[in-house]
Amino acid sequence: MAMARRLASSLLSHSLYAARCSSSLFPGARTHDLAFGVLRMFSMAAEPITPPVEVHHTQLLIDGKFVDSASGKTFPTLDPRTGEVIAHVAEADLEDVNRAVSAARKAFDEGPWPKMTGYERSHILYRFADLIEKHNDEIAALETWNSGKPYEHTSQKEVPLVTRLMRYYAGWADKIHGLTVPADGPYHVQVLHEPIGVAGQIIPWNFPLMMFAWKVGPALACGNTIVLKTAEQTPLSALYVSKLLHEAGLPAGVLNVVSGFGPTAGAAIASHMDIDKLVFTGSTVTGKIVLELAARSNLKPATLELGGKSPMIVMDDADIDQAVELAHFALFFNQGQCCCAGSRTFVHERVYDEFVEKSKAHALKRIVGDPFKNGVQQGPQVDEKQLNKIMHYIESGINSGATLVAGGNRIGNKGFYVQPTVFSDVKDEMAIAREDIFGPVQSILKFKDLDEIIRRANATEYGLAAGVFTNNMNTANTLMRALRVGTVWFNCFHVFDPTIPFGGYKMSGQGREKGIDSLKNYLQVKAVVTPLKNPAWL
C-alpha cells in the first residue's frame, strides 16, 4: 500500500509539472485539467511489467537447425519500454545468406516440398496454424516485448489474425491448378502454374509477425522455399514461430531465417543470383535500393510494399463523432507506425473547427504506457532512432507554422514514448503533410469541395490507401474511382482481412499481398503445347 501511495504521489507530481510546462500550449486551460490528461499519458511511470515469456531462439535458422552466424557476431535487440537489452541475436552476413540460400536451393531442387501434393502441404500449414493458436499468448508477449505494441492488441487481434492468415493459405495449397486453353489448330494446350523457386523475403519491424505470415503463407502454399530476413529491431517473434513451423512438419531447408542489417544481409538477399523472387516491405528509399540490386543481379521479379501518406477525407455530411474516432484510430494505431496510416486528415471547412476540438480531446485522453498493462492504448515507439525522427517532425511542424493542438513532447526519459500529437492549420507544402512520419502525429488540413480534395489527395508520390467518411453514395462512388491508391476504406479503416489484397500505386510499391493476388507472386506460368495427330474428333 505504501508503494502504491508513493507511486500515485510520484505520478501526480510528474503530471502537475508537465501540465505547468505545457500550459502555454493550451491557453486558458486549468492546471488540474491538464494534470489529469497528462496523468493518463504518464501511466508508464511505474516500473515495467516483467513479460510472461522467455527468449529461446536467437540464432539463425538454416537448413532446419538453429546455428550461430559464421562470424560469431551478435547484435542486441532492445525492449522499447526501457531501451534495455532483451537478448543478443546472431548477426547474419553474406556468408550466412549464402548458406541459407544453398539450403533453400537444395530443398527446392531436390527436396520433397515442391513435389508434395497440395493436400500434403496444406496439412502441414494447418498444423502450423493450430500451433500458433495453441501458443497465442506466448507469441503475443514476445511480440509486445520486442516491438512495444499493447499486449491486449497482440494477444486478441494480431496473433489470432496470423492464425487465420495461415489457415487461409493452407486452404489454397490444394487449389492451385493450371488450365487447358483452346488454340487455332490441332493442338492441345496446357497452362501450368509452377512454384517460382527460392523466394527472398525481407520483412519490416512495425508488424514483424503479420508480415511474416503475409509472405511465408503464400510462398509455402505454392511450393516454394524461402530465405527470410527479419528486421534487426524485431527478430524474436519470427524466429519463435519458425520453430513451430518445423514442429508442424516442414522439411529442413524449406524456410531459412536470418537476422541482420539491411546493407549486409538484406543486400545479399536482394542481389543473390540463386534467389528467384524478391519480396520486400519497408520504406520507399530502401525499396528503390533493393529493386536496383534485384535487377542488376539476375533480374529477379520483385514485389514491393513501401511507404505511404494516406489521405483521410471527412466530408461535411459525415457523422463527425464517428469520423473523429476512426480518424484517430487510423493515425494512432500501432503507435502511428503503419505504412497506410491516415496521416493527412482532410476535413471539410464547415466541420473543421468541431473536428479539431474533438480530435484534441481524443488525443488528450489516449492512454500511453507500458504495453503489458491493461487499458494501455499506445506503447513506446520501436527504438530511439524512430523516436528522434518523430520529434524532428514535430519540431518541423511547429517551425513551419502549424498549430500544435495536443501533445508534442517525449514522455519521460526511459524508453521511447511520445505524446499523442495533433496539429491543425496544416498546409500541403509542410513536411508533416508530405513526408512519412511513421509516428503518433496527426495533421489536420482544411478543404472546400470535392474537386479540390481529389486534386490535393492525389498530389503525393505515394498511393497506398485512403479513408473516406461520408453518407453520400455519389460522393463515395466519385472518390472510389478518383483516388489513386491501392485501398479505399469508406467509413472504416485498417481492415486487413486475409482475403483483401493490399499494395500501392505510384511509389508505394508494386504487386499485391494477401488474397488470391498474392499467390501470383510465387508462381511461374508455363505453356505446354502438344500437336494432335488425329484431331478429327474435335
How would you classify residue 473: left for phi > 0, otherwise alpha for psi between -120 and 50, otherwise beta? alpha
Instruction: Tell me which residue has cell 531462439.
Output: 57
Alpha helical stretches, state H, 183-263:
208-221, 236-247
Domain with CATH 3.40.605.10 in the chain: 60-306
Per-residue model confidence as pLDDT tens digits over 214-248: 999 999 999 999 999 999 999 999 999 999 999 99
Directed axis angle between helix 236-247 and helix 208-221, to 10°? 30
Query: How do residues 154-212 score in pLDDT, each as one tens digit?
Result: 999 999 999 999 999 999 999 999 999 999 989 999 999 999 999 999 999 999 999 99
58-77: average pLDDT = 98
* 332 has pLDDT over 50: yes
What tens digit of pLDDT does each residue of 254-292 get?
999 999 999 999 999 999 999 999 999 999 999 999 999
Domain with CATH 3.40.309.10 in the chain: 308-490
Q: List, edge to edge, every strand of the sheet that includes 344-348.
A: 403-406, 421-424, 441-447, 344-348, 311-314, 465-469, 487-490
Determine the pLDDT at residue 100: 98
Three-class secondary structure of residue 94 per DSSP: helix
Q: In this predicted structure, what is the pLDDT of residue 5?
A: 34
Name the β-bridge partners of 78: 85
Regarding the domain delimited by 308-490, which CATH topology (the fold level of the hierarchy) does it fall under? Aldehyde Dehydrogenase; Chain A, domain 2 (3.40.309)
Query: What is the pLDDT, as a whole number, of residue 50?
Result: 87
Active site residue 429: no
Residue 380's pLDDT is 98
Chain mean pLDDT for the chain:
92
CATH match of 60-306 with 3.40.605.10: yes
- The answer, yes or no, to whether residue 350 has pLDDT greater than 50, is yes
- pLDDT at site 48: 84
Which is the catalytic residue, given 305, 354, 357, 429?
Answer: 305
Cβ neighbours of 298 (radius 10 Å): 12
pLDDT at 333 over 60: yes
pLDDT above 70: residue 531 = yes
Share of the chain above pLDDT 90, in %: 89
pLDDT at 16 over 90: no
Q: What is the mean pLDDT of residues 376-388?
A: 98
Q: Is the pLDDT of residue 40 over 90?
A: no
368 secondary structure, DSSP code: B
Strand order in the sheet with 187-195: 179-181, 187-195, 523-531
Give the model's pLDDT for residue 47.
Answer: 74
pLDDT of residue 512: 97
